[in-house]
Structure 1
Amino acid sequence: MADGVGPQHGRDEGGRRRWLLPTALGAAVVVLAGVVVGIVLSQRGSTTVAATEPTAVVTTVHLPVPTPTVQPSARATSTAFTALLPASVLQYAFASSQPANDWLAAGALEAWADTYTDGGSGKLTVQAGQFPTADEATAFAATLTAALPTAAPSPAATGGPSLPKTGQVAAAGTVSGSYTIVDGGDGTGIAVWTNGTGVFRLVAPLADILNAYGSYPL
């Protein structure tokens, strides 16, 4: 693990975790109402009172964040890095993990390929790795981004989110990396991002990709 440097949480769109190993009022309303009525009555007969335009009321509905219906499995390997990896993401619970050997061969100090399940046919996969420096993490992530699909179905055709999306990853108001999210073209979405010395690649059902990325804590 590099000294004093590591994945920092926050999603650009919210900020990721930084990782370093009345009675008086009623009377006033009554008085004001009396004044308004007096004004209207005094003007009635000489001028026409303009009709009040109806005011639109906007209601925001916050849906609950989905949670797993199955228990997450225990990780077979415990390290400072795996301790930060989540046991669940949205409705998906951790199911299994294995070393991401291709990432290790590319210079990662530690890297894992995790699988999460919703207890049925739905699954989410995450490759997560830590590199010696942020520059090395950025360079490796660039190779992952370059391999992402460049052509994808339109949202109107798939019912999915508008993609691709790119932006900065921030922690505590400081830019700590960048992200790219694309439509995989096969019913899935793919997110690749860096956070300090951490690199992450997440694949989820297209309808869940933005929320899954936003819910991942690193």
Structure 2
Amino acid sequence: MTDQRVNSPRTGATASVAARKASPAVYRRRRFVVVVGLLVIALFLVLVAGFVWPGFWRGEATPQPVPTVTVTAAVPTPTVKAMERSGEETAFQKALPSAVLQLALGALTEAKEPKGEGALEAWNAEYADGDTIEVALLAGQWATEDEAATAAAAWTRSAGEAESEGDVKVGKKVVGQYAIVPAKGGKAVVVWQNGTAVMRASGPADMMEDFYAAFPL
């Protein structure tokens, strides 16, 4: 029997496939592909940002809310001294202030007219700044709020047609009504009710609303 052997073309060597190492050119191509891919992704993100956030193209930052600043002016105070008050005043008299804004109390005398309208007591008061501003006040007190409301309505009618009017409130409770009536010579009259008390003040038109708002009754 004949012994036949098939040898590799290369005598005495085992056939094998050697792994080939990539050349530098291949590495460069791969890096190029990666860089181009990153650039494409970056460009895509920029385009999307431009549509979603228009200010991105102009380099605008997200606007920050502007804080609201409230400036409260100091309440004016009198530069002149108020009159001396008697220690024997009624409770209603004592409730009439010695100063309102920059105006000081200069006179306080009993008023007779409101007593003829049913008032329990009434007073005339004069407030001034010692220079050009003078406000004359008539204040009366009635036994009930209904009687006071009737008196306030009569005083408003006698002053003329109201330019503005509204509720008088103590906290959230409505305790009466107020009305501001224009008068001659750049003046105005404000009439308001606070429970059983009714006040009528006349003076410069540009300050009567502030006078009424600052008055403690």
Q: Normalised by the size of structure 2, how large is the TM-score? A: 0.69
- Kindly provide the amino acid, as one letter, of the partner of residue 189 in structure 1: A
The aligned residue for residue 43 of structure 1 is 45
- Report how many aligned residue pairs link the two structures: 167
The aligned residue for residue 24 of structure 1 is none
CA distance in 1, matches of 2:124, 2:100: 15
Paired residues of 1:141 and 1:192 also in contact (CA < 8 A): yes
1:119-155 deviations in Å (ceiling 9; x for gaps)? 11211121111111111111111111111233xxxxx
- Bigger radius of gyration: 2
CA distance in 1, matches of 2:48, 2:198: 74
Give the unaligned 5+ runs of structure 2. 1-41, 56-61
Alignment of 1:125-136 (within 5 A): 125-136=136-147
CA distance in 2, matches of 1:43, 1:82: 79
CA distance in 2, matches of 1:119, 1:214: 21
Give the unaligned 5+ runs of structure 1. 1-39, 151-162
CA distance in 2, matches of 1:42, 1:194: 72
The aligned residue for residue 64 of structure 1 is 74
Residue 164 of structure 1 and its aligned partner are, at CA, apart by 1.7
Q: Normalised by the size of structure 1, how large is the TM-score? A: 0.69
Aligned to 2:101, which of 90, 93, 97?
Answer: 90
Alignment of 1:1-218 (within 5 A): 43-48=45-50, 49-51=53-55, 52=62, 58-76=68-86, 78-150=89-161, 164-218=163-217
SS of equivalent to 2:167: strand
CA distance in 2, matches of 1:178, 1:46: 62
The aligned residue for residue 27 of structure 1 is none
Paired residues of 1:149 and 1:185 also in contact (CA < 8 A): no
CA distance in 1, matches of 2:185, 2:63: 49
CA distance in 2, matches of 1:97, 1:143: 23
Paired residues of 1:75 and 1:96 also in contact (CA < 8 A): no
Paired residues of 1:127 and 1:201 also in contact (CA < 8 A): yes
Q: Give the CA RMSD over aligned residues.
A: 2.4
Q: 1:173 to 1:54 in 2, by over 3 A?
A: closer
Point out which structure has higher relative CO (alpha carbons under 8 A, 6+ apart): 1
SS of equivalent to 2:152: helix
Q: In percent, how many aligned pairs have the same letter? A: 35
